[in-house]
Amino acid sequence: MDNVTIVEKCSDSAIADWLAARLSEQMGTHEGPVTITVPGGSTPFPIIEALLDHDIDWTRLVVWPGDDRVVPEDHPASNTGKLRDLFEPVGVEVVTLTEMEAVPHFALAWLGMGADGHIASLFPNTDPRIDEPRSILRLTPDPLPPEAPFDRISLTIPALLSSDALVFVIRGEDKRAVFNQAVAGKHDLPVARLLGAATQPVTCFA
pLDDT tens track for 10-44: 999 999 999 999 999 999 998 999 999 999 888 99
Residue 51 host element (H or E): helix 44-51
Model-level pTM greater than 0.75?
yes
The answer to whether the beta carbons of residues 116 and 189 sit under 8 Å apart is yes
Q: Is 184 exposed, middle or buried (0-12, 13-18, 19+ CB in 10 A)?
A: exposed
pLDDT (tens digit per residue) in 119-163: 999 999 999 999 999 999 999 988 888 888 999 999 999 999 999
Please report the pLDDT score of residue 175 as a whole number. Answer: 95
CATH 3.40.50.1360 at 4-205, yes or no:
yes
Please report the pLDDT score of residue 141 as a whole number. Answer: 86
Q: Which residues pair with 156 in a beta bridge?
A: none
- Half-sphere exposure for 19 (CA within 13 Å, toward CB): 33
**How many degrees, rounded to 5, is the angle at CA 43 between CA 39 and CA 44?**
50
